[in-house]
A and B are shown apart, each in its own frame.
Chain A
Amino acid sequence: MGSILNIGARALVANELALQTAGNNIANVNTPGYSRQSVILQAVPGQFSANGYFGKGVEVATVQRAHSEYLTNQAIISGSVSAADSKRLDQLKQLEDIFQGGSTGLGAAVSDMLNSFSDIVGAPSDLTARSVVLTRADEMAARFRDSSTRMDDLRLGVRNALQDAVIAVNTLAGRIAVTNQEVARAFGTGQSPNDLLDQRDHLITELNKYVQTTSIEATDGTLGIFVGGSQPLVLGKVATPLSISSDEFGDPAKSKLVMQRGTATNVIEEATLGGGSITGLLRFQNSDLIDAKNLLGRMTLAIGTTINDQHKLGLDLSGAPGGDLFRVNALPDGLASDTNTGAATIQVAIQTTPTSGATTMAASNYIINFTGAGVGNITRESDGQITAFAASPIAVDGLSISITGAAAAGDRFLVTPFSDASSTFSTTFSTPRALAIANPVSASAGATNQGTLALDSLVARSVPAPAAITISFTAPGTYTRSDTGATTYTYTPGQAIEYDLLSPGSSGWTLKLKGSALAGDTYTVQPNAFPRLSAGNAEAMMALRDVPMFDGATLTDGYASAMSEIGVRVQSAGFAADVSQSIATNMEKERTSVSGVNLDEEAAKLIQFQQSYQASAKMMQIAQGLFETLSQVLG
């Protein structure tokens, strides 16, 4: 009878505990990181008797959390990758806003500016038309500046976000270390500290939203947390803080994640980071934003330089040669690596001879690697193409990079030609009279010309123009030039007649005639005697619209290419974010299918254990009844 009571009492306790656990599950249904718990019941070993073993009831072995190591890890990692992708996408969308198309975009400003020269062609001395051109030029420069400022703002925002994220990572790492300590202590009791473990898993999940980690469990129940594959962020009870630092070149546009352990600074390479919003931010800042800035910077430099070069070939309203129309910054010097031992410095400029390099630039940074004092190679970062050099200046992609001083083997430099091209881009003057619209040369037909020669175009290549040169046709297809005597040249209608272009730096012009010539016809190219009503340089400005300068795209089409390049990036980042988001959602669903609380299940358990509890109570009643029966018999 005593054992019946005992069994009943045990069953009451066990079922009450089971009900309590179910209640706890229900209570924590919405607690983030909570794993469903269940009591593990076990039969108390039976007592031996001659009639066999008699069970002694039930007892609670332990409270277990429903947990799958594998699913939890997968959910954490996929969540981390999704955080990286969506962070990068957010930033890229902001960047995309800067590269808007349509009539309010940068491309329209460039094309409007060059188109406005058309009104000057109709009225060269009209100050209104000239003012319109200047206003358009100013507006274009302002849009470039504005885009540049917005990108700088974006960079500042990213930098702040990185700092905040690193602080959050360090706080979380600290809390994990503390939890580790508590877990280790609790492990001594022999029971699993479910809620502590849940809390630690939750902290790790949170940590992975910032940076992806891997964890290895130690025998004492503590977890070692590693960043970038092998850098220990938390080891047992010790957390090592991360920080943000610049790269070896001190490039202000780039950031790196570093870990300071004692005196050693370990750089955590971006490629090994995996996931987390820090990774997304770094990837955006170190590649997307730099590429976008280079695209914009190259446009600024190429357009500014080309227009300036053309403007200087014209004469203004007072007959003086034109100056710069746009203020174009000098290109920044190369940044030296902090490991350099040589004394070399690097200066960068746009190539000017034999032809201007403004039309052949690539939107990229470059890394110079010295293998000796003046030899080495230069790597274009955008596509990794390596060019060897053995002398200064290095000519690459329209740039002229000169080395001053002696470099040591192993020295490295970072060249960022376009990093700051747009921030101070502006027009240099505001008086419309100073616009150099007139052509410094003019061509005149001979008074007795019989053929149908007509002037297609005449473009000056120098100011002041060279002395008069007469082209005399000796036959419909041949001509002589007054500066080269009897040498005959071949004339093809519509093809350029070049004067002196081949010797660099010298004066010259390019003349295009149309129509057919007869023997005796002449054309004389001389300094323009009537600059006031000439708009030849405005026409040359408009011709710049078709000059290929952005990887083959013309000046006015360059923006469309840049815009779609950014668009492609955003689009593919969007796809990546969608995919990783859906993987993360699925993994989380998998994980919660094991660890999450299902209310229906708990309701069923409530009923189940309630009935068991009632049955156990009934058993006690029966035991009492038995006792009473017995005492009545005896009484």
Chain B
Amino acid sequence: MRLGFANTYDNALQNLYLRQSDLSSQQEKLTSGKNVNRPSDDPTASAVAERALTRISRVDTEQRALGVQRNAITMAESTLADATGLIQDIRDLVVNSGNGGFNATSRATIASQMRGLRDQLFSVANRTDTNGIPLFGGLGSSANPFTDSVAGITFNGTPGQRSSTEVALPSAMDGQAIWMNVPSGNGTFQASLPGTNTGLLSTDAGQVTSPAALTGHSYSVNFTVAAGVTTYDVVDTTTSATIASGQPYVTNQAIAFDGMSFVAHGAPANGDSVQLTPSTASNVFKVIDDAITSIDSSPGGPQLSQAIALALSQVDTSMDRIQSARGQAGDWLNRADKISSTQTGRSIQLEAEKSKAEDLDMVKGISDFSKIQTGYQAALQSYAQVQKLSLFNFIS
């Protein structure tokens, strides 16, 4: 086949251009380190890389948010630890106040110490995280979720707890459940002595012996002392029914009925009684306030013992609430570690996916480059050699 002279030059040049552009695009890949520099290089891979990038930035965002949440929960946990210490101190003071050698003045001192601790506890409950968000705001609150007034402490927030998700923790705890949800007495009923009692009778906080038998009624246990023998009657004041009568009283022994029991100490006077009422809602601060009031104002004697027993029982319940919230916070912090490591794993995996989609395999890239380079070199050489060949060179 004969070849058009001009066309062979054109074609050779065209091929040189092509090889040059191959070389330059391979060079671009090598310098950018990417196999896919624009979507058309590999539309699927570039979409994969783009989606991976979106996921990576989302994981980064979530990790950053988790950092803030973890911070808040860590602060909440340590705040609850502080609260535990304060309540423990208060409890010690309550126990101290029962010291038989103390007079009213000593008790007033103790009460004032307790007031100080109580105020500290109040400020602890209102603590905020680094962003100024209350740690115990529940599902949303004002800047200070707890306010102190003459009527008592109120919770200015929305009670409830956010759940944690696969990638996030709640950043606030339920202040209502932790601080504002302490029932009075032992949680089921409260034993109190009427002010008219004259004997030395006092009781412990009592306990539930059979939850199924509970009635939720109020009771009065009335003591009768006749001829040196002390007996008691139990009257259901809600229904006015007498449940038991003429029972012999032995000090330090349990008096039990309708699923409840309590232990009475000391000798009652004739006509003395113990009133049992169902528990009412109270809160950590009110429990302490009540203890302070009763210790401060108590003249001593059985009324004080009774108050101390009640206060201890209620302070312990408060402590339980706070401890269990601390446990919850600890759980969340564990969870945060797990989320964090899962997310890091995901992030690495996504990076790998992105890199697999769009990054250049350097070894292959360099090998390809030298292949293309060799090809280009050969093309240039052959071009130079072939164009020397002409019949005219041989005509003289």
Q: What is A's interface to B at a CB cutoff of 8 Å?
A: 29-30, 92-93, 96-97, 99-103, 105, 107-108, 111-112, 115, 118-119, 121-126, 439, 442-448, 453-456, 514-515, 523, 528-530, 532-534, 536, 545, 556-557, 559-561, 563-571, 574, 585, 588-589, 591-593, 595-601, 603-604, 606-607
Q: What is B's interface to A at a CB cutoff of 8 Å?
A: 1-7, 10-11, 14, 38-44, 46-47, 49-51, 53-54, 57-58, 60-62, 64-65, 68-69, 131-134, 137-143, 156-163, 165, 170-171, 174, 176-177, 180-181, 281, 390-392, 395
Q: Are the CB atoms of B5 and A593 closer together than 8 Å?
A: no
Selected A-B contacts with CB under 8 Å, 17 pairs: A93-B40, A101-B53, A118-B62, A121-B65, A122-B65, A122-B131, A442-B139, A447-B181, A545-B58, A560-B50, A563-B50, A567-B43, A570-B39, A593-B7, A596-B2, A596-B7, A606-B395
Query: How many pairs of residues, A versus B, come closer than 8 Å at their CB atoms?
Result: 214
Closest A residue to B62 by beta carbon equals: A118
With A101-B53, A514-B163, A530-B142 in contact, is A603–B390 under 8 Å at CB? yes
Q: Are the CB atoms of B61 and A515 closer together than 8 Å?
A: no
With A456-B165, A564-B46 in contact, is A597–B6 under 8 Å at CB? yes
Q: Report the minimum CB–CB distance from A210 to chain B (whole Å).
A: 20
Chain B residues within 8 Å of A566, by CB: 39-40
Q: Which of B50, B62, B137, B171 contacts A105 (CB 8 A)?
A: B50
With A442-B140, A571-B43, A593-B4 in contact, is A123–B132 under 8 Å at CB? yes
Q: Are the CB atoms of B2 and A601 closer together than 8 Å?
A: yes
Chain A residues within 8 Å of B49, by CB: 101-102
Q: Which of B10, B44, B163 contacts A456 (CB 8 A)?
A: B163
Q: Is the interface of A mostly helix, strand, loop or mixed?
A: helix
Q: Report the minimum CB–CB distance from B108 to chain A (whole Å).
A: 34
Q: Are the CB atoms of A592 and B3 closer together than 8 Å?
A: yes
With A101-B53, A454-B163 in contact, is A568–B43 under 8 Å at CB? yes
Q: Are the CB atoms of A563 and B139 closer together than 8 Å?
A: no
Q: Are the CB atoms of A118 and B61 closer together than 8 Å?
A: yes
Q: Report the minimum CB–CB distance from A357 to chain B (whole Å).
A: 24
Closest B residue to A553 by beta carbon equals: B51
Q: Are the CB atoms of A530 and B157 closer together than 8 Å?
A: yes
Closest B residue to A25 by beta carbon equals: B5
Chain A residues within 8 Å of B134, by CB: 533
Chain B residues within 8 Å of A564, by CB: 39, 43-44, 46-47, 50
The answer for the CA separation of A560 and B161 in the assembled complex, in Å, is 38
Closest B residue to A100 by beta carbon equals: B38
With A125-B132, A455-B161 in contact, is A596–B39 under 8 Å at CB? no
Q: Are the CB atoms of B7 and A29 closer together than 8 Å?
A: no
With A530-B157, A559-B50 in contact, is A445–B174 under 8 Å at CB? yes
Q: Which of B60, B159, B395 contacts A445 (CB 8 A)?
A: B159
Q: Are the CB atoms of A112 and B57 closer together than 8 Å?
A: yes
Chain A residues within 8 Å of B163, by CB: 454-456, 514-515
Q: Report the minimum CB–CB distance from A291 to chain B (whole Å).
A: 14
Chain B residues within 8 Å of A97, by CB: 38
With A118-B65, A560-B47, A593-B2 in contact, is A588–B395 under 8 Å at CB? no
Q: Are the CB atoms of B4 and A589 closer together than 8 Å?
A: yes
Chain A residues within 8 Å of B7, by CB: 588-589, 592-593, 596
Q: Are the CB atoms of B139 and A444 closer together than 8 Å?
A: yes
Q: Report the minimum CB–CB distance from A604 to chain B (whole Å).
A: 6
Q: Report the minimum CB–CB distance from B59 to chain A (whole Å).
A: 10
Q: Which of A96, A122, A445, A456 contacts B40 (CB 8 A)?
A: A96
The answer for the CA separation of A534 and B69 in the assembled complex, in Å, is 15
Interchain residue pairs A-B with the least CB separation, the first 9:
A596-B4, A567-B39, A592-B4, A567-B43, A570-B40, A445-B160, A454-B163, A564-B47, A123-B131
Q: Report the minimum CB–CB distance from A107 to chain B (whole Å).
A: 6
The answer for the CA separation of A335 and B69 in the assembled complex, in Å, is 54
Closest A residue to B394 by beta carbon equals: A603
With A442-B140, A455-B160, A563-B47 in contact, is A29–B391 under 8 Å at CB? no
Q: Are the CB atoms of A567 and B5 closer together than 8 Å?
A: no
Q: Report the minimum CB–CB distance from B358 to chain A (whole Å).
A: 9
Chain A residues within 8 Å of B161, by CB: 445, 454-455
Q: Which of A30, A126, A442, A603 contacts B392 (CB 8 A)?
A: A603
Other than the known A523-B160, A563-B50, A593-B3, what 18 A-B pairs have Cβ atoms closer than 8 Å?
A: A29-B5, A29-B6, A92-B40, A93-B40, A101-B39, A101-B46, A101-B49, A455-B162, A455-B163, A456-B163, A514-B163, A529-B158, A560-B47, A563-B46, A564-B43, A568-B40, A585-B11, A593-B2
